[in-house]
């Protein structure tokens, strides 16, 4: 692949465009918004022009636009071209997009980005699946990325990312809640030390302990989390994550009853 076209020149799109230029590709970009054009990128006048000129089309827009962009792009794809959706659309949407792309005679890659792109740019870790997974993985490795290829259809990579997000987004939210509580109680350094201790050590042993301990002591821990919610309320701290933990423990307790 010689020409890479990038749809969406926002923060992530611009960084991937820069990575593609640095890797030696001819790079074209399209964005209907008045976003800056990264250095070394030729800006296309329309989505159709970009798609028709590209060997690899990379979509880096909001997930809500994924299906619409694929429908607009499909008629202009070159035979044998590769279309890679890097958005956070659902697995079902990825399956639909793949069908549109492959019906047009192109190949598809479902690409899940696993970290904050501003930190590593185009070298951010990814998971890739779909008929063109190997080709896109090769390109991403030239960007310096660590790529895991999933043997599976479109939607497989995105589903893995969403499974990971169960932990990552929830973990971030509970850390925020704990820190806010620590500040309100006047002991943030102590709370930070507690969080750090839990995030280090034997991860496998901790996972087993979290699961087995929560199931075994669900009723008692649910009452404890009820007290936590009351305490955070007295501190004026929102307790969505703690209250959700209480409800999960109550459910686990009912399952054991």
pLDDT tens digit sequence for 185-243: 999 999 999 999 999 999 999 999 999 999 999 999 999 999 999 999 999 999 999 99
Confidence of residue 98 (pLDDT cuts 50, 70, 90): very high
Q: Please state, in angstroms and rounded to a whole number, the distance separating the CA atoms of residues 214 and 34.
A: 51
Please indicate whether residue 161 is annotated as part of the active site.
yes
DSSP labels, 93-155: HHHHHHHHHHHTT-EEEEEEE-S-HHHHGGGS-EEEESTTHHHHHHHHHHTT--EEE-SS-TT
Strand pairing report for 41-43 and 56-59: unpaired
Q: What's the whole-number mean pLDDT along residues 115-130?
A: 95
Is the predicted pLDDT of residue 256 greater than 90, yes or no? no
pLDDT at position 257 over 80: no
Contacts of 70 (CB under 8 A, 6+ apart): 59, 83, 85, 96, 97, 100, 101
Question: Per-residue pLDDT averaged across 36-44, rounded?
Answer: 96
156-185 helix and 240-256 helix, angle to the nearest 10 degrees: 110
User: Does residue 150 register a pLDDT over 90?
Assistant: yes
Confidence class of residue 250 from pLDDT cuts 50, 70 and 90?
very high
Q: Reading across the β-sheet that carries 56-59, which strands appear in turn?
A: 41-43, 26-30, 3-7, 56-59, 82-85, 107-113, 126-129, 147-149
Q: What is the pLDDT of residue 1?
A: 74
Residue count of the chain, please give it.
Answer: 257
Q: Which residues contact 74 (CB under 8 A, 6 or more apart)?
A: 100, 101, 103, 104, 106
Q: What is the crossing angle of helices 203-216 and 240-256, to 10°?
A: 60
Q: Report how far residue 55's alpha carbon sits from residue 63's, in angstroms, rounded to the nearest whole number.
A: 22
> Residue with structure tokens 């880096």?
60
Start-to-end C-alpha separation, the chain? 60
Of the residues 120, 161, 169, 216, which is catalytic? 161
145 band by pLDDT with thresholds 50, 70 and 90: very high
In angstroms, the Cα distances linking 127 to 16, 53, 136, 146 are 16, 26, 10, 9
């Amino acid at each position: 692949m010689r020409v890479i076209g990038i749809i969406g020149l926002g923060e992530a799109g611009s960084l991937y465009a820069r990575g593609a230029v640095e890797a030696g590709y001819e790079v074209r970009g399209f964005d209907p918004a008045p976003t800056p054009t990264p250095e070394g990128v030729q800006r296309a006048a329309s989505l159709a022009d970009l798609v028709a000129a590209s060997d690899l089309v990379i979509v880096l827009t909001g997930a809500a636009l994924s299906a619409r962009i694929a429908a607009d792009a499909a008629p202009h794809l070159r035979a044998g071209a590769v279309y890679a959706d890097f958005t956070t659309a659902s697995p079902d949407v990825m399956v639909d997009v793949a069908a549109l792309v492959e019906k047009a005679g192109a190949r598809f890659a479902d690409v899940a980005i696993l970290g904050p792109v501003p930190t590593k740019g185009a070298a951010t870790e990814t998971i890739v699946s779909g008929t063109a997974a190997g080709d896109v993985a090769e390109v991403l490795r030239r960007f310096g990325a660590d790529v895991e290829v999933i043997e599976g259809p479109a939607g497989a990579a995105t589903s893995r990312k969403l499974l990971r997000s169960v932990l990552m987004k929830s973990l971030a939210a509970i850390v925020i809640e704990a820190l806010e509580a620590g500040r309100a109680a006047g002991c943030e350094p102590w709370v930070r030390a507690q969080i750090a201790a839990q995030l280090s050590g034997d991860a496998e042993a901790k996972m087993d302990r979290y699961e087995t301990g929560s199931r075994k002591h669900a009723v008692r821990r649910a009452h404890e989390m009820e007290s936590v919610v009351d305490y955070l309320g007295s501190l004026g701290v929102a307790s969505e994550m703690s209250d959700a933990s209480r409800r999960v423990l109550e459910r686990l307790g009912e399952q054991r009853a």
